[in-house]
Amino acid sequence: MINIRPVSDLRNKFPEIEETVNQSNSPVFLTKNGHGAMVLMSIEHYSLLTDSIERELDYADKIAEENDTRYSHDEVFNRVRGRIHE
């Protein structure tokens, strides 16, 4: 279930929000003046979202160190577009 709360709850009910985030391991969406303001999540949940990206970026850095080939912005995006439209 999506948990949406006003941003004022962060100040007024922090222990309750902290418990919700850590026990359910699902994000809490905070609103300000009726509009989305931020999302709070546990470090474990954040890691699930970012670890694979970090690994891929580390791999790309390693390949870049081992290879002198560089591509321009246009070359990269043309290759990406070509793969998308295959």
Do both 14 and 35 map to the same domain?
yes
CATH number of the domain that 34 lies in?
Answer: 3.40.1620.10
- Please indicate, yes or no, whether the overall pTM of this predicted structure exceeds 0.85: no
Do both 36 and 62 map to the same domain?
no
* Contact between 26 and 3 (Cβ < 8 Å): yes
**Helix (H, G, I), strand (E, B), or coil: what is residue 6?**
strand
| Residue closest to 25 by CA, chosen among 58, 50, 48, 51 | 48
DSSP E strand stretches across the chain: 3-6, 28-32, 35-40
Determine the Cα–Cα distance for residues 51 and 69; give it in Å rounded to an integer.
27
Do both 53 and 32 map to the same domain?
no
Task: State in Å, rounded, how far the first CA of the chain is from the last one.
Answer: 38
* Contact between 21 and 30 (Cβ < 8 Å): no
Do both 8 and 33 map to the same domain?
yes
Do both 26 and 51 map to the same domain?
no
Domain extent for 67: 46-84
18-70 confidence digits (pLDDT tens): 999 999 888 999 999 999 999 999 999 999 999 999 999 999 999 999 999 99
The structural domain count of the chain equals: 2
Do both 63 and 80 map to the same domain?
yes
Do both 34 and 20 map to the same domain?
yes
